[in-house]
Structure 1
Amino acid sequence: MTLTEPQLVKIYQSLHQIPELAMQETETHAFLKKTVQQFEQTYLEVQTPKEMPTALLVLVHGSDPKRTIGYRSDIDGLPVEEQTGLPFASKHPQVMHACGHDIHMTVALGLLSYFASQQPKDNLLFFFQPAEESLNGGKTAYEKQIFTNKWCPDEFYGLHDNPDLPTGAIGCRMGTLFAGTTEVDVDFYGKGGHAAFPQNANDMVVAASQFINQIQTIVSRSVDPIEGGVITFGKFDAGSIRNVIAGQAHLEGTIRGLTQKMIEHIDQRIQEVADGIAQSYQAKVVVKLNQGGYWPVENDPELTRNFITYMKSAKNVQFIETKPAMTGEDFGYLLAKFPGTMFWLGVEDNSQLHSATLKPNPQAIQIGIQAIKGFLLNRMQEKEN
C-alpha cells in the first residue's frame, strides 16, 4: 500500500507523541518496524543491526539496479519540555521532537511505502538513524560497519525541515549546507593565593581572560572572511570567593566552520593560543577538542547539481536556494564517507528548531514526498556514475 495523506498525518502525530533521546529510541524503533511490516514485502529486506539496536535499515531491491541510493532519516528527540498545546503533544515528560525528526521519519515512511509497492529500478536503502542530536549516530553507524555489502549505499540523501521556508518548499545549495561543530574545553592550572599578595600566586582568572581576548582574533585575523567561522565560549568557571586568587579556571565553548579544513585550522590556532598563554603566564593549559561526527554538511558537487536542476524544473515544486546555516548536523560525517546531498523541507512556523513551541506544518509531508519521489525516479533514469 502507498500511504495516503491522512495516514501520513496520523503517523506523524503518533511519532510526535513518543520522542526518545539518543540511543534510547526503542518505542520509536518498534513503531517504525511495525509500520514497515504493513507495506508490501515483495521487494523489501529489513534489518535491525545488532551493533545499533534502535537503528532500522530497509533495503528495497531494484528491478535492474545500477546503484544503491541511500536515504537517511534521523529518529531521536530532544530534552525539551513541550509547550505547543497540541492535542497530540509528547507523552514523554521533558522530551520532545523539537527538531522535527517526526516529520523526517514520516516523509521517509511515505517514500518507502510507495517504492515497496512500485519496484524501483535501482536499489534503495532507507536508514532510520538514532542519535543525531547527540552521541553522533551517523559516525557510530559507520564505525560499527553497518553499511557493508548490499547495505552499502553508493550515494546518500537526507532532508531537514526548516520553519523559515514556505510549507513544502525544497531548499538546497551547492557546497556547505550546515556548518560543522566542535566542542572545546580549556583548563588552566596556576597557583591560588591571598588576594592581598598576588606576587605569591598565579592568577588563572587573568590567564583565562587573556586567552578569551586572544581567541577573538582567530576569526577576525586568521580566517578567510569569505569562508567564515564562529568561536563562542559560553561558560567560564573560576574561583570560590572574592578575596582568594583563583589557581584554576575552566572554559567551555563551541567552534563552527563551513568546511572541515576550516574547523581543523581553527582547532590548531586555539591550541597555539593556549600554548602561548601557558608560556606567558607560566601556567599549565589543557585544551580538549571533541568534534565527534558533527562534520560540515558538504554537498557533493555533481549529485547536488543534479538535485537542484531537477527541483528547479519539476512541476509543483517550489525550489529556494538557501544560505549556509551555522547549526550542526551529523549527516555531514556520512557525506564525508559517501557522496550525497542534504536539503531543506519547508514547514513554515513562527517557532525555531529546538524550541518548545515548534509546530511544523504537516501539509509539508505529502508535498515533500512527491518532490523527493520524483527526484529519485529521475535519478534512476540517469547513467551510472
Structure 2
Amino acid sequence: MVSTFLSSPSVDLSQIRLEIRSLQAQLVTWRRQLHQRPELGFREELTAEFITEKLKQWGIPHQTGIARTGIVATIAGNRPGRVLAIRADMDALPIQEQNEVSYKSQHDGVMHACGHDGHVTIALGTAYYLSQHRDFPGTVKFIFQPAEEGPGGAKPMIEAGVLKNPTVDSIIGLHLWNNLPLGTVGVRTGALMAAVETFEVIILGKGGHGAIPQQTIDSIVVGAQVVNALQTIVARNIDPIESAVVTVGAFHAGNACNVIAASAHLKGTVRYFNPNYAGYFKQRIEQIVAGICQAHGATYELNYQPLYPPVINDGAVADRVRSVAETVVESPIGVVPNCQTMGGEDMSFFLQEVPGCYFFLGSANSKIGLDYPHHHPRFDFDETVLGMGVEIFVRYVEQG
C-alpha cells in the first residue's frame, strides 16, 4: 500500500502539508527513540524527560510532574480565540517485544504495543509546528498523560487542574488504529469506546473428599453456575438494541482430582456504551451471585471496580474533526463512521468535563506486515501515519 499522503498527485500540496512533510523524517526518529525506551504507567520518567527536552528546546512553556509524570504545555496563537486541549497518552505495556527491528524495545518485558509512542510523537510534532506558526486563534494546551493502560492517569490529571488556567473549552485526541488501514480515519458522534468495569468473585463453599460430595459444598459447581448465569445479563436483561459484554476471563479452583474445592475465584470484565447502565451491572451481578450461592449454601465475596466510563464524543466537535480529516486523508475508504469498539480509554474522563472528540487514525499496512493487532508482541504501524496525525491536529487548530 502506498500512502496517498506522500505520493498522490491529487493531494492538496498546501504550505501546511509541505512543511509537515518536511518533518516526517524527524517524526520517525522521535517515535523510534520513544519506542526503544517504553515505560509502564506512572513510571514514564524517561518519556517525560524526552518530551520536556523538546519543549525546552522550542521555547514552549510547560509544567511537569503532574499526576507524577504528566506534562502540560501551552502555546498561544496570535489571534484571540478559545482554548483547545490536545491529549496524548505516554505509557507502554508489560509485553516482551518480538519484532526484530533496529528500534526494538531496550526494556525487557515492556513494549509500546498500542501506539502511544506514536501519540506522543504526533503531539510533539503538532506542538513544534504551532510554535513556529502562531497565526492561529486561541490557545492550545498539550496534555501528555501517564498510565492510560492502567490504573488511569486522566482522572488525577484533571484533579490536578490541567483543564484550568486557562480553562479548556474543548479537547481532541487520537488513537493510532491497526484495525483500520493507513489513509483512513474513524470518527463518530456519541459513543466510540466502551465503559470498562471489572469484578472478582470468591465463592466460599466447603471442601472435602471427591468421593463423598454430600459432606461438601462444591465451589466449582457453584462457580460454573455463576458463569453461565452471568451470560443472561446481556441476553435477557439488556435492551437488544444496546451493546454490552460480560466476560469471565479467569476461573481458578482446586488443585487435585479427588478433592472438592472449598473456594473458587472468578475474575471478569464488563463493557457497555450507554452511560445509563452505570451501576446496573454491579447490582445485577451481585444479585445473581448471591442467589446461586444461597441456593447451594455457599457464601461469597464480591469486589466490583468501575474503571473508565464510555468515551462519548460531542457532535459538533466530531463533525469538525470529520471535516478536517476529509481534507487530509484520501483513500477509497476515507472517513469511517462505524468504528466503535468495546475497548476502553480514560480519555472518557476528559470528555465528561468538556466537549470533545476522540478518533481513530488508521495505521495498518498489511502489504509490509504492519497489521498486527494492538497489545500483540509484534505490534507495529506504518510511520507515514505520524505526519497525517500532525496535519489533522494542525488543520483543526488553524480553523479556529
TM over 0.5: yes
Q: Report the secondary structure of 2:245's partner residue.
A: strand
* Letter aligned with residue 30 of structure 1: E
Q: Secondary structure at the match of 1:165?
A: strand
Cα 1:315–1:252, aligned 2, differ >3 Å: closer, same or farther?
closer
Partner residue of 1:190 out of 200, 205, 217: 205
Calculate the aligned-residue CA RMSD, in Å.
Answer: 1.9
> Who is 1:346 aligned against?
362
Closer, same or farther: CA 38–168 of 1 in aligned 2, 3 Å: farther
TM-score by length of structure 2 reads 0.88
Structure 1 CA distance for aligned equivalents of residues 349 and 258 of structure 2: 48
Stretches of structure 2 lacking an aligned partner (at least 5 in a row): 1-18, 365-369
Alpha-carbon offset, residue 343 of structure 1? 0.4
What is the CA–CA distance in structure 2 between the aligned matches of 1:273 and 1:143, rounded to whole Å?
36
Show the counterpart of 1:81. 96
Q: Which amino acid aligns with 1:142?
A: I
Note the C-alpha offset of 1:190. 2.1
Q: Which residue of 1 aligns with 2:385?
A: 364
Shift of 1:304: 1.4
Residue of structure 2 equivalent to 1:170: 185
Q: Distance in 2 between matches of 1:131 and 1:288?
A: 22
Deviations 1:145-194 (A, max 9, x none): 443332x4221111000113232422211211111211110011122223
Identical columns (%): 34
Distance 1:245 1:178 in 2: 41
Q: Which amino acid aligns with 1:265?
A: Y
Question: Which residue does 1:67 correspond to in 2?
Answer: 82
Count of equivalent residues: 372
* Secondary structure of residue in 2 paired with 1:230: strand
CA contact (8 A) 1:255 1:263 kept: no
Contact 1:69 1:154 in 2 (8 A): yes
1:306 aligns with 2:350: no
- Say which of 52, 62, 65 aligns to 1:33: 52
- Is 2:78–2:137's contact at 8 Å kept on the other side of the alignment? yes
After superposition, residues 1-385 of structure 1 pair within 5 angstroms as: 4-39=23-58, 41=59, 44-49=60-65, 51-119=66-134, 120-150=136-166, 152-292=167-307, 294-312=308-326, 314=327, 316-317=329-330, 318-348=334-364, 349-378=370-399, 380=400
Q: Is the 8 A contact 1:168 1:363 kept in 2?
A: no
- Give the unaligned 5+ runs of structure 1: 381-385
Instruction: Report the Cα distance in structure 2 between the residues aligned to 1:72 and 1:102, rounded to whole angstroms.
Output: 13
| CA-CA distance at 1:275 after TM superposition | 2.0
How far apart, in 1, do the equivalents of 2:226 and 2:380 lie?
A: 41
CA deviation string 1:98-135 (max 9, x = no partner): 10111111110111011112223111110010101111
Work out the CA distance in 1 between the residues paired with 2:395 and 2:137: 13
- Alignment check: 8 A CA contact 1:60 1:116 kept: yes
- Superposed CA deviations along residues 194-217 of structure 1, whole A, max 9, x for unmatched, are 333323222211111111111111
Pick closer, same or farther for the CA change 1:64–1:4 going to 2, 3 Å. Answer: same
- How far residue 55 of structure 1 moved from its aligned partner, in angstroms, is 0.8
Whether the 8 Å contact between 2:75 and 2:130 is mirrored in structure 1 is: yes
| Partner SS for 1:240 | coil
